[in-house]
Amino acid sequence: MKPIEIAKGVYDVGVNDWNIEDFHGYSTPLGTSYNAFLIVDEKIALIDTVKKEFADQLIANIERVIDPRKIDYMISNHTEMDHSGSLARVMHRIGEDKPIYCSKLGAKNLALHLPQRYNYHAVQEGEKLSLGKRTLTFMETRMVHWPDSMFTYLIEEQMLFSSDGFGQHYAGFEKFDDVIGHVIMPHAKKYFANILLLYAPLILKLIDKVTQMGLAIKTICPDHGVIWRKDPGKIIAAYDQWSRQTPKRKAVLVYDTMWHSTERMAEAIAAGLSAEGIQVRPMYLRKWHRSDVMTEVLDAKAVIVGSPTLNNGLFPTVSDFLTYMKGLKPVGKIGAAFGSHGWSGEAPKLISQELESLQFEMVAPIRRQFVPDGKSLEESYEFGRAIGQRIAAQVPA
């Protein structure tokens, strides 16, 4: 089967990874794809490679279009191994003297990944590379998603090769936004919340820079998931909104429980929030993956975390989630903690300390010894109502 031709002489030669379930700590129930793009003009360029174990598939896809030895330029937008893992195999096939175009940091990082010394060409911002009838240019995009990241732009086609930017972990035969439809947006949101949220201020600057440059973008080709050809403005607008972390009247209520007592408190708190018109769902950490909870955090105003006290500390799944969320640095949230305990009862205080470190606006925690009775469940309900009122006061309906 010949690779999909996105525009005349521009092919997606990437692969689907149908079976991956965990992408460095991020759950991928629908797999992912590692996209790579072949541009056939008077000169031929390959943009990015794929994970190491898919090298044969990538090379076979290229062979369905051209003899790989005819490739003149290898372009590496980003060093992470889902895009560079098969670079050595590809270089061996296309010719190890061929230039690898990458950012300055890309040259450094690729050299730290690959033992072989290649002919790295560190591009300047805005540098042009003529392929004959068409021309590529390059834009530094540090931290989207690594310090070495860059975008490549095919000027005449108004086509942006955006590496991790605008991607989604989704494996499928539907390779375009207009084919898959709106159902791709939750995957794009999850990708943003779990991969790019930490760099939200830089993304806003990048969108601003692209807007000021007046760069026309007809098609966005990310390295994961579908290609945005019908409405690239839609995903750019979504990135703008997600980067601003504009909250909804929504709370994330996440917890674990040992003997259902913290769970009972979670349900009562959720009921209190709901009574104030706040969107909420209790998220049990042995049912919900940390990356799915994080997706909900993105547009929530409050993050409420519950844990039983285990051996004077937090329950391990709660520690895991807090560590994960802290790394992604969401901003502008209300934070609250709760939990049931047997004797020492440190967990709510420990949670509060973690949320405070994110500069969340904190609510005093509540805790209950052993099994919550009707009175303490009423207290939990009122706790939820009070947080709900605080959200409603800050977020327009």
Q: Which residues bind ligand FEO (CB under 6 A)?
A: 78, 80, 82-83, 145-146, 164, 223-224
224 is catalytic: yes
145 is catalytic: yes
Least distance in Å: CB of 229 to ligand FEO?
20
Least distance in Å: CB of 10 to ligand FEO?
20
Of the candidates 372, 358, 363, 397, the residue with the CA atom closest to the CA atom of residue 253: 363
Residues 263 and 105: their CA atoms lie apart, in Å, by 48
292 is catalytic: no
82 is catalytic: yes
Least distance in Å: CB of 144 to ligand FEO?
9
**Which one from 187, 224, 289, 341 is the annotated catalytic residue?**
224
Closest CB to ligand FEO: residue number: 80
80 is catalytic: yes
User: CB of 276 within 8 A of CB of 270?
Assistant: no
Judged by CB, which is closer to ligand FEO: 146, or 153? 146
User: CB of 183 within 8 A of CB of 195?
Assistant: no
26 is catalytic: no
Least distance in Å: CB of 82 to ligand FEO?
4
Sign of CA dihedral 346, 350, 353, 358: negative
199 is catalytic: no
**Which one from 73, 153, 170, 191 is the annotated catalytic residue?**
191
Inter-CA distances, 216 with 128, 183, 204, Å: 17, 26, 18
Judged by CB, which is closer to ligand FEO: 53, or 96? 53
**Which one from 145, 169, 289, 341 is the annotated catalytic residue?**
145
- Residue 95 buriedness (CB in 10 A; 0-12 / 13-18 / 19+): middle
User: CB of 352 within 8 A of CB of 337?
Assistant: yes
Sign of CA dihedral 2, 67, 151, 216: negative
Sign of CA dihedral 285, 288, 291, 297: negative
92 is catalytic: no
Judged by CB, which is closer to ligand FEO: 144, or 285? 144
Angle at the Cα of 350 from the Cα atoms of 394 and 270, rounded to 5 degrees: 45
**Which one from 148, 164, 223, 256 is the annotated catalytic residue?**
164
Q: Which residues of 99-113 are buried (b: 16+ CB within 10 A; e: fewer)?
A: ebbbbbbbbebbeee
Least distance in Å: CB of 64 to ligand FEO?
24
Judged by CB, which is closer to ligand FEO: 223, or 276? 223
Residues 301 and 273: their CA atoms lie apart, in Å, by 12
Judged by CB, which is closer to ligand FEO: 224, or 368? 224
Catalytically active residues are: 24, 78, 80, 82, 145, 164, 191, 224
